[in-house]
Amino acid sequence: MASRTPVHPRDSQRVRTEPQSDYARLLTAFGRTTHVRVPNRTAATWETIAASLAEAQLEGVAGTLLALLRLPNDWDGENGRPPTQDVADRALSITRAMFRLGMPAPHIVPETDGTIALEWSRGTSELEIEIGPNQHVSVFAQDPADGWRLDEEGLSGLVQVPSLVRRLRLNSP
């Protein structure tokens, strides 16, 4: 767990946090800052707090991905392979992009072939992005309430994700 220096909310100063060495490899690759700005009460305060919360969520996702990287071969008793570093890196990058769309942290599921599935749901609406070896990506989305469904392979599915998030209202409170 990261160590933090106590800060009074009215102080304007930088807080140095040290990521665990296990997180460093994944987080550094995506430009993670190890500083959190805690400003005086200004218009930017809430944006700063939101950014800090998103960073904390991203750190949680990175920890889960790191645990998946450490899975042994045959982790599921059925010749399951752990994901590669490339698959985990792309999953983290996609999650960061989803945070920018206002999405919460995904449910992260390892697949037997080394694929990582990122899943979001709200009510009957579902969105799943699978990131696999050899640059494989697939997107599945559905809203059974209105009979709508998408199942797309490759980058064309990934390009549709922002409109899918709006259509399925997955980022609404």
Beta-strand relationship, 35-38 and 107-110 = unpaired
Range of the domain at 155: 13-168
Q: Which residue has the higher pLDDT, 2 or 126?
A: 126
Is 121 part of a structural domain of the chain?
A: yes
Q: Which residue has the higher pLDDT, 35 or 142?
A: 142
Closest CA relative to residue 90, chosen from 129, 54, 56, 128: 129
Is 82 part of a structural domain of the chain?
A: yes
76-85: burial string, b at 16+ Cβ within 10 Å, e else: eeeebbbbee
Is 36 part of a structural domain of the chain?
A: yes
Is 161 part of a structural domain of the chain?
A: yes
- Is the pTM here over 0.75, yes or no? no
Is 39 part of a structural domain of the chain?
A: yes
6-20 average pLDDT score: 38
The band of 161, judged by pLDDT with boundaries at 50, 70 and 90, is confident
**What span, in angstroms and rounded, lies between the C-alpha atoms of 128 and 80?**
20
pLDDT digits (tens, 9 = 90+) for 87-106: 999 999 999 888 888 888 99
**What span, in angstroms and rounded, lies between the C-alpha atoms of 92 and 104?**
13
Is 6 part of a structural domain of the chain?
A: no
The band of 128, judged by pLDDT with boundaries at 50, 70 and 90, is very high
Q: What is the pLDDT at residue 115?
A: 96
In the numeric block, the tokens 């037997």 are attached to 112
How many structural domains comprise the chain? 1
Closest CA relative to residue 140, chosen from 116, 158, 167: 158
pLDDT digits (tens, 9 = 90+) for 55-72: 778 888 999 999 999 999
Is 163 part of a structural domain of the chain?
A: yes
Q: Where are the alpha helices (DSSP H) in 37-84?
A: 45-69
Q: What is the pLDDT at residue 4?
A: 38
Is 7 part of a structural domain of the chain?
A: no
